[in-house]
Amino acid sequence: MGVSLVMPAYNEEGCIEEVVKKYYNEIISKLDEAEFIVVDDCSKDRTGEILDGLSKKYGIRVLRPAKNGGHGRAVRLGLQNAKYDIIFQSDSDDQNDPKDFWKLYDLVKNNKYDYVIGYRKARHDPLHRLIITRIVRLCGFLLYGYWIKDTNSPFKVIKKSVLDDVLPFVPKTAFAPSIMTAYLTKARGHRLAEIPVRHLPRTTGTVSIMGWKLFKICCGCFVEFCEFAAVVRKNKKKD
C-alpha cells in the first residue's frame, strides 16, 4: 500500500530543509510507493525558495494556494491531492519524530484501525495551547459524544478511503478540519485509535496566532463546532 505524506508549511525557513530531509530519509526512501507533498501556504520568508530547491533534489511535490488560507485549508489542499491508499499528515515545525510514523502506519497497514492519531502525551507547547486542547476535548465530548484525547494532533495516519468518506461533510472553510474529520470518523463507524508519540520543543520560528487574534479564532471555531454537531448526529452510525 502506497503512502502519501502531507505536510503544511508556513514561514519555516529555520527548519524546513532539515525536516524534509529527516522525513524523506526515515519514511519516503524506505517505502516502495510513496509521495511527499508539502503545501507552502504563501510563506513570507525563504520557505518557498528552499522548498523549490528540495523539490528538485528529492522529488517532493510543492503545492501553493493562490493566497494564504491558514493551516486548516493548507492541510485540506494537501489531503485532497494525495493519491495513495494511506495518508500520513505531519507538521513542518520539527516538533515530531518521524520514527514514530511506523507505529501508526503498522496499525493501518495491517487493517487494525482506519485512522490513527499520534497523541502528544508529553507536550512542549505554551500553556494556552494546552488549555485549548483540553477545552476542545471537553467540547467534543459534550457536542459529539466521543472522548478523543488529541483530535488536533498534527501527526496522524489515515486510510484514504476513510478520508474520502468523511471529508466531503467538513465545511471547506473550516479552520480545523482535522478535528472534524476525527469526530466524523468515529460517528460513521470507522475504527479510530490514539497512540502516544514524542513531542519536541519548538526551536525555530514563532507561533503566528496569539492574543486577540487567537481569541477571535477560538470563538469562531466554537461556533463551527456547534454547527457541525448536526452533521455528526446525522451521520452517526446506529448500534
Rounded Cα distance, 142 and 89, in Å: 27
Q: What digits encode the pLDDT tens for the residues 60-84?
A: 999 999 999 999 999 999 999 999 9
Of the ranges 16-25, 75-84, 130-139, 224-233, which one carries the lowest mean pLDDT score? 130-139
Q: In what order do the strands lie in the sheet with 3-9?
A: 61-63, 34-40, 3-9, 86-89, 156-159, 115-120, 192-197
| Mean pLDDT value across residues 138-148 | 92
Write the pLDDT tens digit of every residue in 160-187.
999 999 999 999 888 889 999 999 999 9
pLDDT at residue 40 in the model? 97
Q: How far is CA 214 from CA 27, 132, 217, 220, 222, in A?
A: 34, 10, 5, 10, 12
Range of lowest pLDDT (95-104, 120-129, 212-221): 212-221
Q: What is the mean pLDDT of the chain?
A: 91
Q: What is the mean pLDDT of residues 202-209?
A: 66
Asked if CATH classification 3.40.50.300 holds for the domain at 3-235, the reply, yes or no, is no
CB atoms within 10 A of CB 206: 8
Model confidence at 121, pLDDT cuts 50, 70, 90, reads confident
- Strands 86-89, 3-9: pairing is parallel
Domain assignments of the chain as residue spans, ordered by start: 3-235
* DSSP conformational letter for 238: P
Instruction: Specify the range with the lowest mean pLDDT, choosing from 49-58, 124-133, 210-219.
Output: 210-219
- The predicted model gives 206-223 an average pLDDT of 70
b/e map of 92-107 (b: 16 or more CB within 10 Å)?
Answer: bbbbbbbebbeebbeb
For residue 101, give the nearest of 110, 90, 91 by alpha carbon: 90
d(CA 142, CA 137): 9
pLDDT at 184: 96
Question: pLDDT band at residue 212, thresholds of 50, 70 and 90?
Answer: low
